[in-house]
Amino acid sequence: MNAATQTRDDSAPKPDVAADLLSALSGRDGNRDRAVAHRTRRVVLSSLGVIKEQNQDGSRARAVAIAVTLIVLLLIAPLLWEAVDSLIAGEHLADPGSQLSLLACIVCPTILAAVLVAGWMKRRS
C-alpha cells in the first residue's frame, strides 16, 4: 500500500506547478511576458542597428576608396599623356617638359603608395 500511495503522490501535480499553470491560463502573467517581449525587442532592434552601422561603414569605405582611385587616375592621366606624347613626338628626355612629366609620373604613384601603406599600418596597429 505504501508503494501505491507513493505513485499517487508522484502523479499528483505539485502546488507550485498547479499555481503557475493556473496563472498562465488565466492570463495573470501577461505583464511579465510583455516585459520580456519588450526587452527582447529592444535587444533585437539594437543589434539590427549595429549591423546596419557596420554595413554602412563598409559601403562608405568602398565609396571613398573608389573616389580616391578615380581622383588619382584623373590627376595622373594627363601627366602620363604628356610624357607619352612628348616621347612619341620625338622630343628628347632632357627637355624640361618631358623631365617634369616623367618625374611627376614617378613621384605621384610613389606618394600614393606611401599614403596607402601609412593608412594600412595605422589601421593594423
Q: 69-124, pLDDT tens digit by residue?
A: 888 788 778 877 877 787 788 777 777 877 777 787 788 788 888 888 888 888 78
Q: Decide if 5 is inside a domain.
A: no
Q: Are 88 and 79 in contact (CB under 8 A)?
A: no
**pLDDT, tens digit (0-9, with 9 covering 90-100), for 1-58:** 455 555 555 555 555 667 767 776 776 666 677 777 788 888 888 888 888 888 777 7
Q: Considering the domain boundaries, does residue 116 fall inside one?
A: yes
- pTM, two decimals, is 0.40
Number of domains observed in the structure of the chain: 1
What is the length of the chain? Answer: 125
Cα-based distances in Å from 122 to 93, 116, 119: 39, 10, 5
Does the residue 94 lie in any domain? yes
Residue-range definition of the domain harbouring residue 56: 12-124
The answer to whether position 51 is within a domain reads yes
Any domain includes 6: no
70 domain-assigned: yes
Residue 2 falls inside a structural domain: no
